[in-house]
Amino acid sequence: MIAAMSTNRVIGINNDLPWHLPDDFKFFQTKTKGHHVLMGRKNYESLPPKYRPLPNRINLIITKNNNYQAENTYIFHSLEKAIEYAEIQGEQELFIIGGGEIYQLALPYADTIYLTEVDASLDGHAYFPVFDKQIFKETLRSHHASDERHLYSFNYVTYQKK
């Protein structure tokens, strides 16, 4: 899983991010490039059109809509089928990229969580699920201070399943 969340677990508001953090965006791009990324339909549709599908990645979309189509993507109607597809394709690190419902569904399957923890409490409509820190151990933390390009400071944190 890869996500950014505020101190109150917000990951989105009105199908958008509640912050603009260019270095976190670059981190996401670098980490997921060349991999399969799995997302829900609403998350896919929230991407700016110029980034649909996310370039240099295999885009997997989960939807309940049997007639849904999105050019140059793979559509699935269950999380399990999407994960199975990525495994068959030889993916070594499938990235779950949201939104909130998909993170909740995928949490039992996750072995690594790359979480950008934004130092702000913000309003939002989508949340990252609470996960058990007895099951996931923090293995890496790197601080990024606020600056002229980043209104909020944040930490890149990696959690590994024990």
pLDDT tens digits, 50-89: 999 999 999 999 999 999 999 999 999 999 999 999 999 9
Helix, coil or strand: residue 27: helix
The β-bridge relationship of strands 95-98 and 112-118 is: unpaired
Report the chain's C-alpha Rg in angstroms: 15
What would the pLDDT profile of 95-108 be if each residue is shown by its tens digit? 999 999 999 999 99
Number of structural domains (the chain) is 1
- pTM for the full predicted model: 0.96
Rounded to whole angstroms, how far apart are CA atoms 154 and 162? 24
Quick one: residue 29, left, alpha or beta (phi over 0 = left, psi -120 to 50 = alpha)? alpha
**Residue ranges making up the domain that contains 134:** 2-161
CATH of the domain at 48: 3.40.430.10
